[in-house]
Structure 1
């Protein structure tokens, strides 16, 4: 009913047709469809059972199954039925594929080409298979073997990817004491548009449009995703919250700690790349600034806590409602992790950081036993000697409100804008692509306060017609505080409202050095990120940064 890494019920069984069950003599056995993802077979006497079916495998972007003339990608949750009674038994998979195809998986080899074995179904479901025509590279780092498999042509530089993945893979010791795997497989799909990624037990599948690798910004998106999924090999696959242990594949697996599973993974992803020298301090700060700006334009963070966001994830719908009424376990989980990191560093005089929490989770709560909220609080107390009950109530169980200026001051940084940035008019609403229909209206923003709602269609400003192409430039004709009359269709009824322009900066938010950072701030910075202070005496990033 769902696949690991995506906390959402999916219609996976809808792709099965020509379902047939036979006994060891080849006789058909009666069965009943007892649930949307379940068949019950009636046996009059013990027998081996063979189940055959046709599989719909054209769901590339969902990463559950895709087969064409060049490859097959198979995630067991979307491809292979199982019997709960035999879930703990060893499983062997054999593929019948064209002679020129090669097959890869995080599973062990079955002893011949296109064959794999798993100790149980849980390993099988967490070890997708990529078979077909692909590019392959093997490399080793820190005593572990790695493989990179890329299906699809594109503008990627495979040797650069191998170099950077090798550097990333060598940073494990910054957080954990050891490895949960001997071999790890990076699977990459260069696609015609599908994008996304999923972590697995000792592998990952990453999908990016085929021509989204050459430009630095695009490549950073790829390598950050690779880092995120690699970190998941520990945080989620080696240790995870109790609600996700063991996986129940037929219903929602509830947990109030998904913000740690996902948000903390997002928090560490750029840190490991920075330590490895794959990204620069400038690129790290740009990513942090972008996250701060996005958080401050997400009113839902003032409504929902990361704890509630975690348990609500299975029912989340996204879109305008989520922006206005929900916290995101990835983005706000990132900032809960940042706040917790800084709290630990302060409470321990820089002796312990949030990395030590994850080191302890790995050492003390490896699967098959999941960890609880009380386990995390106990680790925090063991590291700091402090009771984190009130911190947890303020930052986890309640909607989180962070003062980023005060928070970043700990490490000699501040959010701000460049000298050329200017204040400009701001409406607090977004248009749908190539239309004047509103796709988002931010809660308590200028448009919201004017009575404009999602789905309204703008037709004129101050009596003059606007188009989707001219709308943004028209807004620039005004300044903060100006009042304009907006004509719009709302439920097919023409109406006019008065909107008072808000204010925003023309430049992107930046993370800058404070004036004259102290020695203590620089020490805090190094304890946080593991690199030396990257600014010169003028507050400019050094040339090699």
Structure 2
């Protein structure tokens, strides 16, 4: 890989009246038991008649407005002489401090930090996780100024961040607020490892007890971190920190400029399936260091922390990241080919069970992400930017490989996005189309209209055949009766009713509660077995409570294939199919002459 090409993400909403004056932050975490901290921020001198102070209303990586400022109490403002300055609350994440003469302003407030699962902040007796979006206020006037952050912590704590360390223990520096807000801090009692890959330095910080093997994590993260050259020519960082929370209840992850925070249940590491969940998440967030943090859609540039930012390209930011995550692990030898195709088959099966893909385009889903709330309506009428964005990326990759006679791929698109549209500029739809034309030698206008701007159901059989693969439910699969409903866990209340499915067409709706089938009581545990007593096409009488009223509904059963969807090799794959496979995934044909996955030593 080429040497790092550094960039500093700097944006300023207003011209600063005191250029290059530092903004100083300090946070007192010495009494952390009740999730409380004391925060102090000193802004440089301003000549304006007021100082605007903001706390973001959303955090990067989560495209949803959040009530972050609700955690702030006891807000005060003083000048450099200690004089109390009047202030007023002017928006949900905004305070306006009045000034009668030039002054520097010091703001103090109490912070309640108990948003662990949202990866905003969390303080307890063992640690503090601090994402600046929910922790540190800023002023638009000084957004572009250098930052100093100091932490006052219990004596046994150690502090880590992707930011540069300051001159004192538990302190950090950043070139501006945009770097601070994208460089979370983990401080407390934790496990720490350092390693290197491809000339870059990495750290792994794990807070919490669990059944993880930290040495195995380091081994696999080292392999993963060395795979970036498969897509990009250089790195946007010199040092990167993997932060992991092994805890209870919280799960998920968020990408940052020079680090990531990954949360997993503390006992979800030992079993292979669980560990794969962790390492795939790590790969996803690592890829985000380029895709989103180094280049991103122009609708997200610059970050406007006080308002929504709408773009039709979120599927590239998120779905394409999901698409590449397992490929890097496969190339690194961290994931087997069998595991890779099990993951892909699961995604295809989920798409086929989501009627919303027939209603909403991936472009519309991207633009609607800020208003997305999930649930039954989303399944039936919406497209998910992560899962369907993955599959759209797959279709685009296959199209490019075919169009270039195996010489180009979707990796080239992302390499060009990074090389040609790196921040502080963002990329547009026209930019992506131009790159697609450059890579393929042809226009992708009609492809974009069909697969991005329109709802689409992909022909997976035809696509996979190009790579010598096919979908199967197994040789023992059979046709079974199908209702088109999903039950809430442990109950007979319906959590989903698939649009245009048998139950939907019979007038059964969300939250109905099934009582009996053909006059006989049914239980939650026995519902699936009871349905299997019938054949596709049979009509059954379903007794249920709907809006607290008991009623009978005649339901004509549909059909589905039994068994889990899988991907296998076609019989007698051709050289062309194997070559396409290699161009796609970068690994050798993993099947033996009988079409079975070769054993992994």
Category of TM-score, reference length = shorter chain: over 0.9
Distance 1:384 1:417 in 2: 35
How many corresponding residue pairs?
545
User: Whole-Å Cα distance in 2 between the matches of residues 395 and 154 of structure 1?
Assistant: 43
Cα offset for 1:140? 0.4
Cα deviation 1:240-288 (Å, max 9, x = unaligned)? 0000000000000111000000000000000000000000000000000
Query: Which runs of 5 or more residues in structure 1 are unaligned?
Result: none
- Of residues 514, 535, 545, the one that matches 1:458 is 514
1:155 matched to 2:216: no
Q: Map 1:107-126 onto structure 2 (within 5 A).
A: 107-126=163-182
Query: 1:504 corresponds to which residue?
Result: 560
- Once the two structures are superposed, the pairs formed by residues 59-458 of structure 1 within 5 Å of their partners are 59-458=115-514
Of 45-54 and 200-209, more deviation after overlay is shown by 45-54
Q: Please report the TM-score for the alignment, with normalisation by the length of structure 1.
A: 0.99
Separation of aligned partners in 1, 2:523 and 2:63: 39
Query: Which whole-Å deviations, capped at 9, do the CAs of 1:56-103 have from their partners, x for residues lacking one?
Result: 101100111100000000000000000001000001100000111000
| C-alpha distance in 1 between matches for 2:137 and 2:520 | 61
Write the distance in 2 (CA, Å) between the matches of 1:191 and 1:477: 43
Secondary structure (helix, strand or coil) at the match of 2:368 reads helix
Contact 2:473 2:562 in 1 (8 A): no
Deviation at 1:536, TM superposition (A): 1.2
Instruction: Kindly state the Cα deviation for residue 510 of structure 1 after the two structures are TM-superposed.
Output: 0.2
Deviation for aligned residue 1:426 = 1.5
User: Moved runs in structure 1, 4+ residues, more than 4 A?
Assistant: none
Alpha carbons 2:220, 2:334 under 8 Å: kept: yes
Task: Return the alpha-carbon distance in structure 2 between the equivalents of residues 437 and 542 of structure 1.
Answer: 44
How much has 1:421 moved relative to structure 2?
A: 2.1
Give the Cα separation in 1 of the matches to 2:63 and 2:346: 25
The 2-side partners of 1:4 and 1:253 are apart by: 11
- Report what 2:541 is aligned to: 485
- Report the secondary structure of 1:406's partner residue: helix
Secondary structure in structure 2 of the residue aligned to 1:48: strand
Tell me the alpha carbon deviations over residues 308-339 of structure 1, each in whole angstroms, 9 at most, x when there is no partner: 00000000110000000000000110011011
Deviation at 1:475, TM superposition (A): 1.6
Scaled by the length of structure 2, the TM-score of the pair is 0.90
Deviation of residue 423 (structure 1)?
Answer: 2.1
Determine whether 1:472 maps to 2:523: no
**Could you tell me which residue of structure 2 aligns to residue 521 of structure 1?**
577
Matches of 2:316 and 2:568 in 1, distance apart? 27
CA offset at residue 469 of structure 1?
A: 2.0
Residue 113 of structure 1 aligns to a residue whose secondary structure is coil
SS in structure 2 at match of 1:214:
coil
CA deviation string 1:429-482 (max 9, x = no partner): 111122211110010111111110001111111111112222122122222222
Matched, 1:13 2:69: yes
Alignment partner of 1:289: what SS?
helix
Q: CA deviation at 1:420?
A: 2.0
Which residue of structure 1 lines up, in the alignment, with residue 30 of structure 2? none
- Secondary structure of the residue aligned to 1:49 is strand
Matches of 1:56 and 1:18, distance apart in 2: 11
CA distance in 2, matches of 1:434, 1:415: 32
CA root-mean-square deviation: 0.8
- Deviation digits for residues 481-531 of structure 1 (CA, Å, limit 9, x no counterpart): 221110111111111111111222221100011111110000000000000
* Alpha-carbon separation, structure 2, partners of 1:476 and 1:133: 53
Question: Would you say the 8 A contact 2:318–2:385 is kept in 1?
Answer: yes
Give the Cα–Cα distance (whole angstroms) in 2 for the partners of residues 405 and 416 of structure 1. Answer: 10
Contact 2:191 2:207 (C-alpha < 8 Å) held by counterparts:
yes
